[in-house]
A and B are shown apart, each in its own frame.
Chain A
């Protein structure tokens, strides 16, 4: 009978191959008191030397087999190995505490690891893994145990391990590995990240996979659901083979759309963008086929620090995003905190009704210094790409005018100070408050663009909290009420020759997309992973037909009726 193990799905796809167990030995360190420090120090240096020789040998082999880019990690490890602080601190502890060098080494490296794991830069946090990797090698020699040698793998296998170190993955000949299975770890652990960048499935955090699976067991790894079939029967194999080819086919179909513009079947062009919160997501965006960033949530810049980010820190971040997007538009939303989003170092008064309280633009118009700092950073960054600025939660025209005035003041100041500011900077607003929708015709004369924030717009319209289970059924994205509001905004904007985008979840929703195309939405911004699917869907829709569809939807009375209408239309189109 087939045995199934479950874990956390960390990288999608399906794999079919033999298990290869890559087990790291127990490197638990036991404290001993010692008498001859010199002997301990000698042991230490002997081990350091052996590790150095190993790393140099491995590096050479990796360069031969895979080229020199993958070998960089061994240079880093070699450098750590001869770090004078590491060596001298370890020796010092042996001498002062009179303990065996294993304990001294662990204690010294633990301090460095803790230091790095706390740093505010992801690259630095990952360096802690490098220190652990090098330490493992030194301890292995000191404890006289052997480490596994992943460079030996020479046939198609699925690796089953407690956890993979960076030097493990650097040595593995990529053409032989079909998937990773680990006992520990989560979606952000090294093995998960490696698997995703190699495009192979991974299931992590299985707890005991390496104890249950034997070398040579035939495995099916399901990286979408996070489970593993061990020695499956032939009908299970068939089931998964067919799931696998469906998955591959869909992926291939979507790949075609990566660099294509987004066009409807009747050749109407729209723009698909990505929503991001932090700089780390940029690489995904570039790979996802996005034509723009439709929403850059700047709160994360404020949340990931222990104090307010300075103008320079913000400038660096905005500049980086603009440069990486290489001329593609980036819509930056000014600070949107308050309500449920707090900063640990900024004491905002608790409110009875945070969602209806002092947040977003209301807060920044009150705390002008903080707002001005952000605006200055944005204006300075504008020279490095195509920046668009938008203000969140605007409820009245006065708020927009005030915010714009502050922006102009800082632009003037910067120019006086000798900076340059790009002169085609577009300034717009998020449309999420009903009053703004209703007066869209007035706003349309003064803003450069709108971006509809459906998440909040829907909540404010139905007066219901989508996170509150007892009323969340009132969160109705395709209710005719919402469709009419969206139409109001789009018509008002188009009358003034302005464009409308959407950055709420609705923009990526496959039931909403046909309706939004019909309503004439110009830009759809969503999470990067949805972009190709959305482009593929839009490719099959005709705007002319969707116009007719949405006109019908606008006359309906309820969310359910709209959903039924669209679903039957979609089935009709996609069956053809």
Chain B
């Protein structure tokens, strides 16, 4: 199990393109990937779930990964969030 917390830096929060990118990336991995925000938890592979969290700019969220490729997954996701300036 791997958990990491991030802070949103993009202006629009985790809506639209950022959400789509995160879901695309998460869907590549076999492990179960969850995103937690404001005491709600959804699968990071679900676009509806991620968007429905309504994550605002400058807020914190956590990614929880459990599975065979959890190390690769957290690396890939963190890479994406940093490169696309979504969160850090």
Give me the interface of A with B, judged by CB distance under 8 Å. 75-76, 79-80, 83-86, 112, 115-116, 119-121, 123-124, 127, 131, 312-313, 316, 320
Taking CB as reference atom, which chain B residue is nearest A75? B20
Contact (Cβ within 8 A) B51 A116:
yes
Contacts A112-B52, A124-B51, A320-B11 known; A85 to B20 CB distance under 8 Å? no
Contact (Cβ within 8 A) A84 B57:
no
Which of B42-50, B61-69, B76-84 has 4 or more CB atoms under 8 Å from chain A?
B42-50
Task: Tell me the complex Cα distance, A527–B48, Å.
Answer: 37
B30 at the interface (CB under 8 A from A): no
Contact with A along B21-45 (1 / 0, CB 8 A): 0011000000000000000001101
In the bound complex, residues from chain A placing their C-beta under 8 Å from that of B48 are 80, 83, 85-86, 112, 131
Across the A-B interface, give the 6 residue pairs with the lowest CB-CB distance, nearest first: A85-B46, A79-B47, A85-B49, A83-B46, A115-B52, A83-B48
Contact (Cβ within 8 A) A86 B58:
no
Nearest chain A CB to B52 CB, angstrom units: 5
Contact (Cβ within 8 A) B20 A79:
yes
Contacts A79-B23, A316-B11, A320-B11 known; A119 to B46 CB distance under 8 Å? no
Nearest chain B CB to A340 CB, angstrom units: 30
Pairs A–B under 8 Å by Cβ, sample size 7: A85-B43, A85-B46, A123-B15, A124-B51, A131-B48, A316-B11, A316-B57
Nearest chain B CB to A384 CB, angstrom units: 11
Task: Tell me the complex Cα distance, A451–B65, Å.
Answer: 56
Contact (Cβ within 8 A) B11 A85:
no
Give me the interface of B with A, judged by CB distance under 8 Å. 11-13, 15-16, 20, 23-24, 42-43, 45-49, 51-52, 54, 56-58
Task: Tell me the complex Cα distance, A84–B16, Å.
Answer: 18
Task: Tell me the complex Cα distance, A131–B56, Å.
Answer: 22
In the bound complex, residues from chain B placing their C-beta under 8 Å from that of A76 are 20, 47
In the bound complex, residues from chain A placing their C-beta under 8 Å from that of B54 are 119-121, 124
In the bound complex, residues from chain B placing their C-beta under 8 Å from that of A85 are 42-43, 46, 48-49
Contact (Cβ within 8 A) B16 A123:
yes
Task: Tell me the complex Cα distance, A112–B50, Å.
Answer: 11
Contact (Cβ within 8 A) A127 B51:
yes
In the bound complex, residues from chain A placing their C-beta under 8 Å from that of B46 are 83-86
Taking CB as reference atom, which chain A residue is nearest B42? A85
Nearest chain B CB to A108 CB, angstrom units: 10
In the bound complex, residues from chain B placing their C-beta under 8 Å from that of A80 are 47-48
In the bound complex, residues from chain B placing their C-beta under 8 Å from that of A316 are 11, 57-58
Nearest chain A CB to B59 CB, angstrom units: 9
Scoring A85, A116, A119, A316 by chain B CB atoms within 10 A of each residue's CB, the highest score goes to: A85
In the bound complex, residues from chain B placing their C-beta under 8 Å from that of A119 are 54
In the bound complex, residues from chain B placing their C-beta under 8 Å from that of A112 are 48, 52
Scoring B11, B15, B42, B48 by chain A CB atoms within 10 A of each residue's CB, the highest score goes to: B48
Task: Tell me the complex Cα distance, A465–B58, Å.
Answer: 44
In the bound complex, residues from chain A placing their C-beta under 8 Å from that of B13 are 121
Nearest chain B CB to A517 CB, angstrom units: 40
Task: Tell me the complex Cα distance, A119–B43, Å.
Answer: 20
In the bound complex, residues from chain A placing their C-beta under 8 Å from that of B52 are 112, 115-116
Contact (Cβ within 8 A) B51 A312:
no
Taking CB as reference atom, which chain B residue is nearest A87? B46
Contact (Cβ within 8 A) B58 A312:
yes
In the bound complex, residues from chain A placing their C-beta under 8 Å from that of B56 are 313
In the bound complex, residues from chain A placing their C-beta under 8 Å from that of B43 are 84-85
Task: Tell me the complex Cα distance, A119–B19, Å.
Answer: 16
In the bound complex, residues from chain A placing their C-beta under 8 Å from that of B57 are 312, 316
Nearest chain A CB to B44 CB, angstrom units: 10
Task: Tell me the complex Cα distance, A120–B52, Å.
Answer: 11
In the bound complex, residues from chain B placing their C-beta under 8 Å from that of A115 are 52
Nearest chain B CB to A502 CB, angstrom units: 32
Taking CB as reference atom, which chain A residue is nearest B54? A119
Task: Tell me the complex Cα distance, A131–B46, Å.
Answer: 13
In the bound complex, residues from chain B placing their C-beta under 8 Å from that of A131 are 48
Task: Tell me the complex Cα distance, A84–B15, Å.
Answer: 18
Task: Tell me the complex Cα distance, A152–B11, Å.
Answer: 40
Task: Tell me the complex Cα distance, A76–B57, Å.
Answer: 22
Scoring B13, B16, B47, B56 by chain A CB atoms within 10 A of each residue's CB, the highest score goes to: B47
Task: Tell me the complex Cα distance, A124–B42, Å.
Answer: 17
Q: Can you name 16 extra interface pairs (CB under 8 A) apart from A79-B24, A84-B46, A86-B48?
A: A76-B20, A79-B20, A79-B47, A83-B49, A84-B43, A84-B45, A85-B43, A85-B48, A112-B48, A112-B52, A116-B51, A123-B16, A127-B51, A312-B57, A316-B57, A320-B11
